[in-house]
Each structure stands twice: as structure tokens, then as C-alpha cells.
Chain A
Amino acid sequence: MKPKVAFYWCASCGGCEEAVLDLGEDVLPVLEAVEIVFWPVALDWKREDVEALPDGSLAAAFINGAIRTSEQEEMVRLLRRKAQLVFAVGACAQLGGIPGLANLFDREEILEQVYVRVPSVVNPEGIKPSCRWSDGGRQLELPEFWEGVRTLAQVVEVDYALPGCPPTPALLADAVQRLLNGTLPERGSVLAPDHALCQDCPRQASKPDSLVVREFKRPHQAWIDPERCMLAQGFLCLGPATRSGCGARCIHGNMPCTGCFGPTGRVRDFGAKALSGLASIVASQDEKELENIFRGIPDPAGTFYRYSLPSLIGSRKAQS
């Protein structure tokens, strides 16, 4: 009998699902080897079908996306019960990801902004989504929108994490392969190398020994020399702080690293560590000048915590 696996998405953009498709024809041997019993984005299985499975009967559940709603929480708890192994797939599941930046605001602010304040919204009565609504005698029920965004591991026990926004097809294929031939590492591991991107960067040799930054430029503001270290050119590149394993895809595309692979295994707070490292190489002692230099980073929270805000305990503006 082929091992059964499930795929599920929570608060995410769908890019991780695309990554599965990006396997291209390599997906075929995977489909040969496993039986997919649940994949809402592709197959018409329902929640009841999962509930009907015996506990622990799935070899693995691959879950992407962060946890924002009651439905997501219920589903991942269910999958956790049914699966022997849970994989957090992608930055949102692992660290909270882009949806996690919503933790900079509380629930009410978000609903007010999206359903009332946005200029293109016409909502004179100020109606906001609620869990129960009755219309003409029909009862409508919506999942609860929780106070904050959580990582998958903050809701259920997670066995492995596949970092990235999205994880590369190669990482995904490797994870499935290891699952099939029983060569997965110690539980709790992140399935990617445990060093920073600089080591695998094609521009490593162009790095000056004494790395200093005098200004921060954003990619649209200047021409980027495709041969030289981004930081040495003044482009904010998070390669020094970010776990490797992506194959330096952004760098190959002449864009700086934004940190989607998250921290290495030795770092607890990605943003703090990245910021501390970066601030250390800014070549100025003058308060005013420093202020000017850091104006080159107009959105520090969105820059340094772009993918990892919910992974910080206590990061939510209003604790649920």
C-alpha cells in the first residue's frame, strides 16, 4: 500500500501550492509513490472524508500558510491527529510569513481598514464581517477571524519545516524523497542547510573584507551591478542573516535577498539579528548622519520581519 499524504493551505497566497506544480514532470514519480488523500486546491475531498480516516493513518501532512481563522486551526488540529508527520511548508507556516505582518495591527483595526476606511469601499452602514448572519431566515456561518496570526508550530506540533516563499521545488522533492526512503533527519529540523546564504552566493568572492555601508538604496533606485555583493553596493540584502537552500535565486535574478528562508538554527529572532548585523556595518558614528542613512529603509518592520513577525513571542499588538 502506498503511503497516504495530505496537502493543505491556510493563510497564504497559494505560491506554495504552485511550487508543487513547479515540480513539473518530476511530480509524476511522486504521484506514483504516494496516495494523495486530501488536496483542496486540486481534488474534491471534503473535511468529512478526512475526519473519517483513522488517526495516524496519513504518513504526512504538508501544510502551508499561517493560522488566522478558526477554520484553519480546526483543520490543522484535525490533520495533526490523522498524520504521523506534519510538515510546515513555506515561510507562512514556518514563521508567519507575509500575512503575519498583520500582527502589527489588531483585529478591529484590520476590519475597520479593509471594510470601512479603504477609499474604494462603499459601505455607508459600516457593516463588518461577523461569524453568524441571518438573511431571510437562512443562517450563514463564517469562521472566526482570530485576534492575531500564528505560525503552524504555535498551534500544533510540527515535525519538519520547509522554509521559503515558496520553498524551491528541489527542496520539496527532496523532502518527499526522504520521507519515502526513511532518511529524514531528527524531528524538529528545518529541511535546508544551516548556514547563511552568503556562503552559497555567486557573488561571495566580490565581498570586500571590511564590509561597510554608507547608504541604503532600494532596487528600483539604482542600477545593480550583477557581479558585485549587494551590500557592498549599498543594497539592503539579508543574505548574511538568512538560511541558505534557495540556490540564491533572487541573487541570480539580480535582486537582493529579502530573507524568506528565515533564520539559521542558532538564531531566535530573525529581524533583531538581521538588524543588529546590518546596523553594525553602517559606517558612521554621527547621530544625524545615521538617521539619514537609515531613512533608506523606510519600512523597517516590513523589511526585517517581512516573513517572521508571528514567530516572535509577544509580537502581536493585541494578545488574544
Chain B
Amino acid sequence: MSERGQKLPSDVRVGVYVCHCGVNIAAVVDVRQVAQLARGLPGVVVARDYNYMCSDPGQELIRQDIRDYALNRIVVASCSPHLHEETFRHAAAAGGLNPYLVHMVNIREHVSWVHPDRERATEKACELVRAAVRRVVWHEPLEQARVSIHPDVLVVGGGIAGIHAALTLANAGKRVYLVERQPSIGGHMAMFDKTFPTLDCAACILTPKMSAVQAHPNITLWTLAEVTRVEGYVGNYEVEITRWPRYVREDLCSGCLKCIEACVYKDARFPDEFNLGLSKRKPIYLPFPQAVPQVPVIDPATCIQFKSGKCKKTCVEACGERGAIDLQAVPKVERVRVGSVILATGFQTFDPRRMPEYGYGIYPNVYTSLEVERLVNASGPTGGEIVLRDGRRPQSVGIIHCVGSRDRRHNPWCSRVCCMYSLKLAHLIRERTGAEVFNFYIDMRTPGKGFEEFYQRLLEEGVHFIRGRVAGVSDWALDPSEEGKLVLRVEDTLLGIVRRIPVDMVVLAVGLEPRSDAEELRRLFRVSCSAEGFFLERHPKLAPVSTFAEGVFVAGCCQGPKDIPDTVAQAGAAAAEALALIDRGSIEQEPNTAYVLADHCSACRTCVSLCPYSAISIVGGDGRPHAEINPALCKGCGTCVAACPSGSIRQHLFEDEQIVAEIEGILAGVAGG
């Protein structure tokens, strides 16, 4: 019935340890008084305060007291359990106590760092300690479960991050599935001409790696493929990958490209996606000359055969006996089992149509930086010639920095690469055309290796730098010098005047943002996203490539904007984390899982669809059906525990008795004892 006062188990011997954390806690909380209070609580045998509980002597204190006082429960009042729960559990285990008989109270982040008043902060710390002592009494010994780690790895995304991670793993002898949505791997890096600040040719350093992926016996490469379903848990993910048809069989195609020549369309007519529409392609095409795999792809949206079924199929004819063209191909579903996953799905650039004041899509000679990357690229639509849409060479070019970035109306973050790529483009444009180049910047951000030097070089090359956010771009001429030009209006904040700068070409240095479908991927892999939509790392400093889904790692711009060196470094780190996981062979799982009281469960099924990890099923169908939770899948989120209408699902470390005791402990102070 409703009055169920909780009886105190009789044989508990609690040790309480209050940490000073140097002055972090002790400056605000009277730690001696907290220990004093703890000494008087029922069940407490020993209570101490100590300068640094996490230090070796601090941990030794716990170990020694467990032996000397036969302690069987430990409360540590210190920092966040995120930081040191493991530490104190280990200390207890070393003293011969089950580690789950330890409970931590956070009197630093929750008390000393947020409350200025010493007396009231001390009072709060006391209440939290009282609650913890009452709670820990109800703790029970728990055992960790072990799960084995499948050695294969899935890498999602075939840009430089995915390529580097896949190669690192494959070279270490691990089997890798590399899944890429586009018809070729290479990602954004394949679109660039040169890379900053060294001006290496992007293709020269990327394409060998792309070929290596293709040739590597340990890598299974699937292009035109997407992950459509993920089940399982760390060490044992089952992933479903849908491979969209290329209509040209990779196993039979020799890469002769005769089919493209033979297409009934004699001229290329359709916007070429790889060149951002700056050139045309046929319905059957190779995305770009160095594409991997070197196999053409048919676009069913433009191919006559797919649209009307009445094509002469000259491509099939040209392929001849090889028979690589398969117009009947259907999507194929692959299912693979992997132990870990690396997400390297990259970014999308900011769409400048969202800032109509810059005239993108209105004035033909306003380009995005990515389009200019293609224009300066030797294999691009103009063969590396920087020309305007009417074929003229620009005499003057304005590059607007921070388009969509550092802007509260759009993306508040700095995209990190725009300053540097703008300098690179400025250099290339000046080198190739001799045009006068103006950079419009808010702040120059050049904090990488060799970056500042590159900036200095540009200053010496005679590129103009104007500090100010451009207000707008228009073709409205106020005097004859502006006639036929695009005019940038900007407040030059160094001169303190508003200027009008007429140019032939405007380049918008668009920022980097999360892919619009990142949320879908986030849900599939059950990782978290930060507020801006990039995949969230487990810890910004100490676990930068891990996620909150164990065994899922992130690399490259899907985690946040970064340049190529950082991306490659991160991809290597993600591969190393995956390798570490694989070579451990198995991992322990936290026992804070939910469990069903099978005798009490009525199989009402409220919980089944709720579980974000698909850990719950109904079993015992013929006899007495009830819910069952797979502990290997359960992450201890507690959703089912809260939802179970008959209170028949409980959770280790969050048992009703523990929570109620904790609440009673907090309220005991309010109620006056």
C-alpha cells in the first residue's frame, strides 16, 4: 500500500570521503563540516576529508579503510562522476569491494562552482551527502558483462577522411567496408585544384590514395550506396546497405569509356554535378577523369531508355560482347556484420541563395568558392582557365569571406577553412589572370602551420585586403567606372568609410555546414548531434573522435569544419580507436541496464516500441508472455523504466529504493530531520 517506509538494511558500513579538490571545492564548501555531518549519519563508520581524493594517496585511503573498518559501501563527494567514477570504482575494487557499491556526489560542478555563498553551499553539500549515504545503502553488487568485438569495420563516406581511415585499417590487416553515396570516392577534396598553404596539387596527393582503396584486398568499396538500417551494438553491428544501380557492371567494365562516346546524345547536354553545373555531361558519364571506380554511370533521370524505353541503346552496342551495361539492374541490399563504424560523411557548403544581397543566382558572375575551385582546376570545365560566363577574363575579382559563417542570421560558427582557401584562390586567380583581387574579410584567421606565412606572402603579392562585411552586391552603376561591373558596397572599418568597389567577378567564400540529412544518419547510428547539427564527439578534448554510441567514431567535417590536415589526422585517430577496440577482442559493459520482473510483467507492450536500441522483445508467447531486455543492447537510458505502467521494469543503479532513499535524504533536511 502507499505507506512503504524504507527499512535500513542492518549490516551496512559506509565510508564517506569529502574531497577538497585543492581549492576548487574547499574554497567554497566547508569540507570539514560536511565530513562531520557524514560521521553522524546512520550506517556511516568513517568519514574523512582529503585534499585530492583522486590522487594515489586519496585512493589508498579508501582501500585502507575498506580493510581497517570492513566497509561495504563508499560515498565520495568530489567532482562529476563523468570524470572520476571509474577511478573510485577501481579503488574500491582494489580494496576488495564490488565497484558498484560506490556512489559519487558532485559537490564541485553542482555546488562549489555554481554557488558563491559559503554557508549555503556547505548546506547543499551536506544534503547531497546525506542523500547519497541513504542511497548507497540500497546499492547491490553488480557484475559487468563482456561482449566480443567483431573485427570488421564499416566506414561511411568516401572523402579524404573515409579514404584515409579505410586505408589505415586495411593496412593493419582489418577488413573494411567503405560506403560512398556518390558514383566515385574522393569527396570534396577531389574537386580542388591546389591545397593551402603549400599549394600541392590536390589530385596528385589524393588520387593515389583513391586507387589504393580500389586495389586493396581488405577493402570492399561500394559506391552509389547508402546505409539504410543499423541494428546491434558495439562489437556486433548489423548494417544494411542499399546499393543503387549504376547500370554499368563494375565487374565487367574495362573502363574504355566507348559507351559514353557511343551515346545517342552526340553532345553533352545535362548539367555536370561534379562541375557544379559549370559544364555538361551525357546521360552516361564518368563523374571525373580520375574517378574510382573508373566505371561510367547512367543517370536514369536523363537517359532516353529509362524515360521512354525507345532508345537505340548504342551504348550497349558499343560495349559489345563485354556486356557490362545492364539496364535492368535493380537496387541491391547488402548486409554486413561489423564491430565498429567510422562516420566520415563530410559537409555541405552554405547555399548563398539564402543571402540574396550577394546576388548569387541573380548576377551570373557571382560564383561560390567551390565553383571557382572547379574553374581553376586543370581538369575542370574550362581546363583551368579562369573566365567569366561570357568567356571574358576578369580584370578584377572580389572575394567575400564569411558567407553564411559568423552570422547570427545563418551559421554562427567560423567555418575555419574559408580565410585560407580565399587566400589560395586569390593567389591562383592573380597568378593565372593577373587580375586585381580584393579580399573582404571580418577577421583574418590563419592559425595553422605555415598559414600566417602564406597570408604574408599574399600581402606582398599585392592582393588587396579590406576589413569589413560586404553589405551587398549589385550591378547598379553610379558612375561610368562602374558601368558593366558588379559593385560591392562595404564599410572599410580600417579607413572608417563606406566604399564602392567595382569588379568583374565576385567569389563568395561559402561556409561549411552539416549535411542536410545528417539527422537521419544520426538516428540510424544513434549518435548525438551538437546544436548546429554536426556529429557530437564524446568529449571535446579527451574523446574527440568517439561518440556517445560505443564503437561509432567520427572523422572529418561531419564532426565540425576543418581543413585537410586536421581531417586526415582525425581519420587516423578514428582508425586507431577502432583498431584499439578490435585488438581488445572484447569489452565490458556497464551493468546499469534495465531488467524485467518477468513474474510481474503483463506483456502490455508499452515498452517494446519505445526502446531506442531495439533491446526489448516479447518472449514466452505460448505460455506466459512477458517482455525481455537484451542486456547487451540496453544502454541504461531508463525510457522503458519510466514508461512501464505496472512498474515491472527496473534498472540496476536506478532502483526505486535507491532513488526514493536519495529523495528522502534530500528532503530530510527540509523537513527538519
Asked if B142 CB lies within 8 Å of chain A CBs, one says no
**A195–B601 CB distance below 8 A:** yes
Q: Which of B302-310, B320-328, B377-385, B637-645 makes up part of the contact surface?
A: B637-645
Whether A266 sits at the interface, judged by CB under 8 Å, is: yes
Mark each residue of chain B from 1 to 29: 1 if its CB lies under 8 Å from any CB of chain A, else 0: 11110000000000000000000000000
Is B600 part of the contact surface with A, judged by Cβ < 8 Å?
Answer: yes
Q: Give the residues from 230 to 283 in chain A that come closer than 8 angstroms, CB to CB, to chain B.
A: 238-241, 243-244, 263-268, 273-274, 276-278, 280-281
Q: A153-B2, A153-B3, A204-B625 are in contact. Are A273 and B603 (CB under 8 A)?
A: no
Please determine whether B605 and A277 come into contact, CB atoms closer than 8 angstroms: no
Between B605, B624, B646, the greatest number of chain A beta carbons within 10 A of the residue's beta carbon is seen for B646
Asked whether A177 is an interface residue with its Cβ less than 8 Å from the other chain, the reply is no
CB distance from B616 to the nearest CB of A (A): 10
B606 touches A211 (CB 8 A): yes
A210 and B618 CA atoms in complex are apart in Å by: 10
What's the minimum C-beta distance from A73 to chain B, rounded to whole angstroms? 18
Given known contacts A153-B2, A278-B645, is B608 in contact with A244 (CB within 8 Å)? Answer: no
Partner pick for A210 among B601, B605, B645, CB 8 A cutoff: B605
* Chain A residues, CB < 8 A from B599: 195
Within the complex, the shortest CB–CB distance from A22 to chain B, in Å, comes to 25
* B1 adjacent to A153 (CB under 8 Å): yes
Min CB gap A45→B, angstroms: 29
Tell me the smallest distance from the CB of A203 to a CB of chain B, in Å: 11
Alpha-carbon separation in the docked complex, A212 to B603 (Å): 14
A194 within 8 A of B: yes
**Cβ–Cβ contact B1 & A276, under 8 A:** no
Interface size on B (CB < 8 Å)? 30
Check A264/B646 contact, CB under 8 A, given A210-B605, A210-B608: yes
**Number of A-B residue pairs with CB-CB distance less than 8 Å in the complex they form:** 108
Q: Which residue in A195, A238, A244, A313 is a CB contact (below 8 Å) of B648? A: A195
Of chain A, the residue at the smallest CB distance from B610 is: A280
**Identity of the chain B residue whose Cβ is nearest the Cβ of A270 in the assembled complex:** B645
Q: Is B656 an interface residue (CB 8 A)?
A: yes
Does B601 lie within 8 Å of A209, measured CB to CB? no
- CA separation between A59 and B35, bound complex, in Å? 52
When the two chains form their complex, are residues A280 and B639 in contact, meaning their CB atoms are under 8 A apart?
yes
Chain B residue nearest in CB terms to A311: B2
Complex Cα–Cα for A16 and B603 (A):
30
Q: Are B609 and A211 in contact (CB under 8 A)?
A: yes
Question: Please, how many angstroms separate the alpha-carbon atoms of A96 and B618 in the complex?
Answer: 35
Digit string of A186-210 for contact with B (CB within 8 Å is 1, else 0)? 0010100011111110001001111
Q: Is A103 an interface residue (CB 8 A)?
A: no
Alpha-carbon gap, A239 to B604, bound state (A):
8
A79 CB within 8 Å of chain B = no
Does B602 lie within 8 Å of A240, measured CB to CB? yes
A266 to B646, CA, bound (A): 7
B255 CB within 8 Å of chain A: no
* Cβ–Cβ contact A197 & B605, under 8 A: no
> Measured between alpha carbons, how far is A196 from B606 in the docked complex, in Å?
12
CA distance A276 to B638 in the complex (A): 13
Q: Interface readout for B578-615 with A: 1 if CB under 8 Å, 0 if not?
A: 00000000000000000001011111111111100000
Are A209 and B618 in contact, CB atoms less than 8 angstroms apart?
Answer: yes
Bound-state CA distance A274–B644 (Å) is 8
What residues of chain A lie closer than 8 Å to B141, measured between beta carbons?
none
Q: Kindly state the separation between the CA atoms of A268 and B663 in the bound complex, as whole angstroms.
A: 14
Interface residue? A85 (CB, 8 A): no
Residues of A contacting B644 in the complex (Cβ-Cβ under 8 angstroms)? 273, 277
Residues of A with C-beta under 8 A to B645: 196, 238, 240-241, 267, 273-274, 276-278
- Is B647 part of the binding interface, using a Cβ–Cβ cutoff of 8 Å? yes
Q: Are B606 and A240 in contact (CB under 8 A)?
A: yes
Indicate if the CB atoms of B625 and A190 lie closer than 8 Å.
no
Which residue in B1, B597, B608 is a CB contact (below 8 Å) of A190?
B1
In the complex, whether A151 has a CB less than 8 A from a CB of chain B is yes
Contact with A along B614-627 (1 / 0, CB 8 A): 00011000001100
Q: Is the CB of B647 within 8 A of A263?
A: yes
In the A-B complex, the 7 residue pairs with the smallest Cβ-Cβ separation, listed nearest first, are: A277-B645, A266-B647, A240-B604, A241-B645, A199-B602, A196-B602, A196-B646
* Known pairs A204-B625, A277-B606 / 11 extra A-B pairs, C-beta < 8 Å: A158-B1, A190-B1, A209-B618, A211-B604, A238-B645, A239-B602, A241-B645, A263-B646, A264-B648, A266-B648, A276-B643
Q: Interface residues, chain B, CB within 8 Å of chain A? A: 1-4, 597, 599-610, 617-618, 624-625, 639, 642-648, 656
Q: List 5 A-B pairs, Cβ < 8 Å.
A: A190-B1, A266-B597, A267-B647, A268-B4, A277-B606
